[in-house]
Structure 1
Amino acid sequence: MDAKVSAFIRYLLNERRYSDLTIQAYQRDLNEFEGFLLSSGGVSFNEIAYQDVRLYLAFLTEKELSRTTIARKLSTLRSFFKYAVQQQWTEINPMELIQYNSKKQRLPDFFYESEINSIIEAAKRDDHPSATRNVAILELLYATGMRVSECCQLKVSQVDFNIQMIRVIGKGNKERIIPVGDQAIAAVLDYQKNLRDQLIANIPNSPYRDFLFLSDKGKPLTAAQVRTILNRIVDQHGLNLKIHPHKLRHTFATHLLNNGADMRSVQELLGHVDLSSTQIYTHVTKDKLRQTYLQVHPRAKRQTKTEED
């Protein structure tokens, strides 16, 4: 492998014109990989396979290297084996199936059911003049998983109160249909009856008559205003919680999946183009995990003694 590595380094230096520091990094990475192969039994170059690289990845991880360092070392191997195939040194590229994300994926922040119920109840007790509107926003964001921008642009004509469905216009002007539960529909109707109709009556020629959620000036709410509304509810009622509109979207998806919804349905409801965007919600809460364990493991519960014992 030494001769092939040397030829590759010359290629980087003479044809790719890489800097000295970059060349040194490539050389170190390849020397380390070769050393790993030798310590693992001395696999010949033509026998290097996907499994060998997977073992090497595990080795790097055990050394507790940073994810960016590991990603760089794998990038070196990708470049080297791509060049090796081009030079017909080997027919198989062991890096083809290797995937590694240098960024640690953060789990989405969400509310437990008791927490979201506390926030909604606080909004209902609020003495703010626009309390009915604020409750409707909270209920609708949680009930549908809409983005805050979609909620702000929502029009009355997009809500079918009879069949309890909402037509949402999402990113890229793509349309999706979302069902809405009883409590959210009731909150929106209450807001319309006790506040919105009055706002519209005060501004008869308003160009915003069809927008569902309006400010006290009769204009459509902005995303920033919705964030302010949610923060004020949490702060004024002494709830020790951090809130933002997108957290309600995360909560919607998490609760659906934790209660048995399938991934494809949640993907459609959220308006995700790729299923991978929805897969971040496959985490489960500790309570749900414990509940599942107790239900399915045959020795999870203490056995009770029978009379014969």
Structure 2
Amino acid sequence: MPGADVGRAVRTYLDHLGVERGLAANTLSSYRRDLRRYDAFLAEQGVERLDDVQEATVSAFLVRLREGDEEHPPLSATSAARTVVAVRGFHRFAVSDGLATHDPAAAVRPPTPTKRLPKALPLSDVEAILEAAGSAGTPLALRDRALLEVLYGTGARISEAVGLDVDDLDRVDGTVLLRGKGSKERLVPVGSYALAAVESYLTTGRPVLATGSAAARSAGALFLNSRGGRLSRQSAWAVLVKAAERAGVTRDVSPHTLRHSFATHLLDGGADIRVVQELLGHASVTTTQVYTLVTVESLREVFATAHPRARA
């Protein structure tokens, strides 16, 4: 019947979730907790029937979730979003099951969780990881050191680094051609530390790896695996994690951590944020015209003065 009692409708919906949709016990418990809190809020507002709930009522409930009350602490955006999703599902079910004539929650959007950037590593931690990567002096260790130096020295994404060919690196000019998202290319300066590590790898390490069984299929690849094939993203990730463990760096480290550290250290060194965005390949509609004014020469100049490993 239209305009059913809220409490009874909540029980009907929970039965539907448990019996017809077969939700797991923990998931069902979360729905029950969220909807009981919603039911209590509506009762506090004097709302007893579903057709009396308005969009403003649901929005007010979202505000209550974020602000908290005497019985509940404020919820994070993620937790509040989960509760709003439960409320939206409840009202959608109520309309489809004939328990209500309208859906007041349809236009109420869950809050967007704040994107958390990884914390930049201190320069000392980065240097310890780089040293640990190449400490063994084997062909694989030379590759690992070169790979991590390139990742930190250019801010490259892991996919961009493993996708490099030998010809993409201009060791005379000190630049590397990176191919980013959407096949967009950008020319990025490479510091002397990274160039030295790559030179050592190309001279001593890569020729050994290139004799593997898969070498013919990856003749031009810069970073090779032990069989001579192109290094994969997963293997490159493992290289960094193992180097961090050997260096005694206890915080979680990923290739994006090095990319974020690259950007943070440049900004700390006085680099203009527009230059850093260009180096990272973060072009946007509103800043594209600005980026076109940034030449390779100016990138090289800022990189050389701001990046901690740009010069020996």
**Shorter-chain TM-score tier:** 0.5 to 0.7
Cα distance change on mapping 1:147 and 1:94 into 2, 3 Å: same
Which residue does the alignment assign to 2:304? none
Cα distance change on mapping 1:99 and 1:262 into 2, 3 Å: farther
1:112 CA displacement: 1.6
Alpha-carbon separation, structure 2, partners of 1:95 and 1:263: 40
1:70 CA displacement: 4.2
- TM-score, length of structure 2 as denominator length: 0.57
Contact (CA 8 Å) 2:165, 2:220: kept in 1 or not?
Answer: yes
Which residue does the alignment assign to 2:296? none
Contact (CA 8 Å) 1:8, 1:80: kept in 2 or not?
Answer: no
Alpha-carbon separation, structure 1, partners of 2:230 and 2:175: 21
Q: Which of the numbers 136, 139, 164 marks the counterpart of 2:146?
A: 136
Alpha-carbon separation, structure 2, partners of 1:268 and 1:81: 48
Alpha-carbon separation, structure 2, partners of 1:268 and 1:35: 55
Which residue does the alignment assign to 1:6? 5
RMSD: 5.1
Q: What are the equivalent positions in structure 2 for 1:91-240 lying under 5 Å apart? A: 96=107, 98-100=109-111, 107-108=117-118, 110-123=120-133, 125-170=135-180, 174-183=183-192, 184-196=194-206, 206-215=216-225, 217-231=227-241, 233-234=243-244, 239-240=248-249
1:177 CA displacement: 1.6
Give a deviation string over 1:136-180, Cα, whole Å, max 9, x none. 111101123334343223212333445544333456x63332513
Cα distance change on mapping 1:55 and 1:69 into 2, 3 Å: closer
Contact (CA 8 Å) 1:143, 1:252: kept in 2 or not?
Answer: yes
1:113 CA displacement: 1.5
State the aligned residue count: 259
Contact (CA 8 Å) 2:130, 2:243: kept in 1 or not?
Answer: no
- TM-score, length of structure 1 as denominator length: 0.57
Give a deviation string over 1:30-76, Cα, whole Å, max 9, x none. 4312234359xxxx966946873453223547714876774454235
Contact (CA 8 Å) 2:62, 2:80: kept in 1 or not?
Answer: no
Cα distance change on mapping 1:143 and 1:207 into 2, 3 Å: same
Which residue does the alignment assign to 1:52? 60
Contact (CA 8 Å) 1:153, 1:211: kept in 2 or not?
Answer: yes
Question: Is the partner of 2:178 in helix, strand or coil?
Answer: strand
Cα distance change on mapping 1:274 and 1:185 into 2, 3 Å: farther
Contact (CA 8 Å) 1:145, 1:270: kept in 2 or not?
Answer: no
Counterpart amino acid of residue 174 in structure 1: S
Counterpart amino acid of residue 133 in structure 1: R
Alpha-carbon separation, structure 2, partners of 1:200 and 1:47: 65
Contact (CA 8 Å) 1:165, 1:177: kept in 2 or not?
Answer: no
Question: Is the partner of 1:33 in helix, strand or coil?
Answer: helix
Alpha-carbon separation, structure 2, partners of 1:94 and 1:215: 53
Cα distance change on mapping 1:6 and 1:269 into 2, 3 Å: same
Question: Is the partner of 1:177 in helix, strand or coil?
Answer: strand
Q: What are the equivalent positions in structure 2 for 1:70-109 lying under 5 Å apart? A: 70-78=80-88, 96=107, 98-100=109-111, 107-108=117-118
Question: Is the partner of 1:168 in helix, strand or coil?
Answer: strand
Question: Is the partner of 1:206 in helix, strand or coil?
Answer: helix
Unaligned runs of 5+ in 2: 20-27, 287-312
Give a deviation string over 1:178-197, Cα, whole Å, max 9, x none. 51332323432333234435
1:7 CA displacement: 8.2
Give a deviation string over 1:205-264, Cα, whole Å, max 9, x none. 83422111124553323345434544554555x534465444323433444566665489
Cα distance change on mapping 1:88 and 1:189 into 2, 3 Å: same
